[in-house]
Amino acid sequence: MVSMKSHVLLRLFTAVFVLCLVSILSFAQDDPDPNSPTPVLLRAKDSKRVFAVPADSAQSVNLSMANRESFPPNSRVAIFAKNVVLMEGEGANAFRVYVEDSRGKQYRFPVVDLYQVKARTPTYAIVVELRDEIGYWDPPSADGDVLLRVSWRGLTSDRARLGYGTTGGSIQDDAIPYSKLYASTLRDDPVRKAGRTASPEYVGYRWSGDRMRFLEQAAFGPTAALDARIRRIGIRTWLAEQFEAPYPSASNPYPNNALKPSNAPADCDNEQTITPDVPVTCFRDTYTMYPVQAWFFKEAYYGDAQLRHRVAWALSQIWVISGVDTQQSRHMTEYHKVLSNNAFGNYRTLMQQMTLNPGMGNYLDMVRSTKNNPNENYAREIKQLFTIGLFMLNPDGTLQLDGLGDPIPTYDQNTVNNFTKVMTGWNFCNTGCPNSVVGVVNYIDPIVLVPSNHDLTAKTLLSYPGSTTTNIAACTGCNTAAITTYANNSLNQTLDNIFNHPNVGPFVSKTLIQHLVTSDPTPAYIGRVAAVFNNNGSGVRGDLKAVIRAILLDPEARGDAKTDPNFGKLREPVQLLTNVARTFDVTTAAGTGQSDGVFYSPTGNLLTTMAQTAFYSPTVFNYYSPDFVIPGTALLGPEFTLMTTGTAIARANFANTMVFNQINASQPNIPLGTKFLYTEMQALAAADSSGNLLLDALNDKMMHGTMSASMRSTILTAVTNIVATNPLARAQQAVYLVTTSSQYQVQR
Q: What is the DSSP string of 117-181?
A: E--SS-EEEEEEESS-SS--SPPPPSSEEEEEEEEETTEEPPPEEEEESSS-SS----SS-GGGG
Residues forming CATH 2.60.40 domain(s) in the chain = 40-182
Backbone angles phi, psi at 651, to 5 degrees: -65, -40
pLDDT tens across 144-182, in order? 899 999 999 999 999 999 999 999 888 999 988 998 877
DSSP label at residue 642:
G
Buried b (16+ CB within 10 A) or exposed e, 182-207: bbbbbeebeeeeeeeebeeebbeeeb
pLDDT at position 49 is 92
pLDDT at position 531 is 98
Polymer length of the chain: 748
Q: Tell which residue, 718, 576, 596, 595, has the closest CA to residue 654.
A: 576
- Bond before 39 cis per omega within 30 degrees: no
Q: How far apart are CA 362 and CA 111, in angstroms?
A: 45
Q: Tell which residue, 508, 561, 497, has the closest CA to residue 530.
A: 508
For 18, 256, 685, 733, the CA distances from 8, given in Å and listed in that order, are 15, 59, 61, 66
Measured in whole angstroms, the distance separating CA 49 from the mean position of its chain's CA atoms is 37
| CB contact at 8 A, 420 and 533 | no
- What CATH architecture is 40-182? Sandwich (2.60)
Alpha helices in 234-374 (DSSP H): 235-244, 282-287, 290-302, 306-316, 329-342, 347-355, 358-363
Q: How far apart are CA 677 and CA 658, in angstroms?
A: 10
Q: Give the DSSP H or E segment for 225.
A: helix 224-233
pLDDT at position 121 is 79
Q: Tell which residue, 651, 657, 674, has the closest CA to residue 746.
A: 651
Cβ atoms < 10 Å from Cβ of 708? 17
Q: Tell which residue, 568, 578, 555, has the closest CA to residue 743.
A: 568
Give me the DSSP letters along 169-222: SS----SS-GGGGGS-SSTT-HHHHTT----TTTSSSTTHHHHHHHHHHHSSS-
Q: How far apart are CA 238 and CA 230, in angstroms?
A: 6
CA count, 13 A, side-chain hemisphere, 179 = 18
pLDDT at position 132 is 86
Q: How far apart are CA 211 and CA 227, in angstroms?
A: 7
Give me the DSSP letters along 416-464: HHHHHHHT-SEE---SSSTT-BTTB---SSPPEE-GGGS--S-EE----
| CB contact at 8 A, 502 and 395 | yes
Give me the DSSP letters along 20-49: HHHHHHHHHT-SPP--PPPPEE-B-TTSSB
Q: How far apart are CA 531 and CA 551, in angstroms?
A: 11
Collect all residues with Cβ–Cβ distance below 8 Å to 161 and sequence separation of at least 6: 48, 49, 50, 145, 146, 147, 148, 167, 171, 173
Q: How far apart are CA 116 and CA 698, in angstroms?
A: 42
Q: How far apart are CA 75 and CA 92, in angstroms?
A: 17
Q: How far apart are CA 326 and CA 315, in angstroms?
A: 18
Collect all residues with Cβ–Cβ distance below 8 Å to 567 and sequence separation of at least 6: 151, 154, 518, 520, 748
CA-CA-CA-CA torsion for 693, 697, 699, 704, nearest 10 degrees?
140
Measured in whole angstroms, the distance separating CA 7 from the mean position of its chain's CA atoms is 56
Q: Kindly tell me the number of DSSP H helices and DSSP E strands found in the chain.
A: 25, 19
**What is the amino acid identity at position 664?**
N
pLDDT at position 141 is 56
- Bond before 248 cis per omega within 30 degrees: yes
Q: How far apart are CA 116 and CA 118, in angstroms?
A: 7
Measured in whole angstroms, the distance separating CA 581 from the mean position of its chain's CA atoms is 19
Ranges under pLDDT 50 in the chain: 1-30, 136-137, 185-205, 271-278
Collect all residues with Cβ–Cβ distance below 8 Å to 404 and sequence separation of at least 6: none
Intra-chain end-to-end CA distance of the chain, in Å? 64
Q: How far apart are CA 683 and CA 234, in angstroms?
A: 30
Q: How far apart are CA 561 and CA 36, in angstroms?
A: 10
At residue 377, the 3 state secondary structure works out as helix
Alpha helices in 234-289 (DSSP H): 235-244, 282-287
At residue 473, the 3 state secondary structure works out as coil
| CB contact at 8 A, 166 and 144 | yes
pLDDT at position 33 is 57
CA-CA-CA-CA torsion for 669, 670, 672, 675, nearest 10 degrees?
160
User: Measured on CA atoms in the order 211, 654, 305, 545, is the torsion positive or negative?
Assistant: negative
